[in-house]
Structure 1
Amino acid sequence: MRQTEFSIRPKAQTGVDSKTPPRHETTKSTDFNRLPDEANVSVKDASFLTGLGVSTIWSKSKSGHFPQPKRFGSRTFWKMGDIRHWLNTAGC
């Protein structure tokens, strides 16, 4: 019986031209500055923005030391404004 390998992250896929970045590539930090406060940010992006590990974000969120996530079906996001506020106050 052959084992099937599963991956949580999608494989890098580019568009028709080589200028299109892979779909799972993290957005540059300068692009985050242009996001509105209402923008939804994934846990990986929140980790990138704060410099915290993904598991640390979950643990701080559960203990009340990081903004609470919003759930949309099976997906979880944080509001960009909440992360900005956390970074500018108690977060650093």
Structure 2
Amino acid sequence: MKDNYEMDIKAVFHLSRGTTAIVGNLKGYETKRIIGSKAQLFVDGKPQTTIELYETIFDRPTKDNLRSLETYDKVELTQNFVEKHNCRLVEVKN
């Protein structure tokens, strides 16, 4: 198992409770819930911002290893943007 995780972002949802849900293929942490983790957002290989993430629902990943992470931090991504760009998260160790 990797010491950190990476996620290829497939979908973004801005929820009415003030959080943003980010869904994607997660590599690493296959059997571990993510709580209070920081990750660097990359768009087309360029670093953008660091956000704090957590998993509100932890269940077995889908066969495609899709997982959902949430953040209270401001995320400027839209679904349309994610579909046209390579967006990914890489965990940042403290």
TM-score normalized with structure 2 length = 0.24
Structure in which a larger fraction of residues adopt strand = 2
Structure in which a larger fraction of residues adopt helix = 1
Bigger Rg, structure 1 or 2: 1
Q: Which has the higher contact order (CA 8 A, sep 6+)?
A: 2
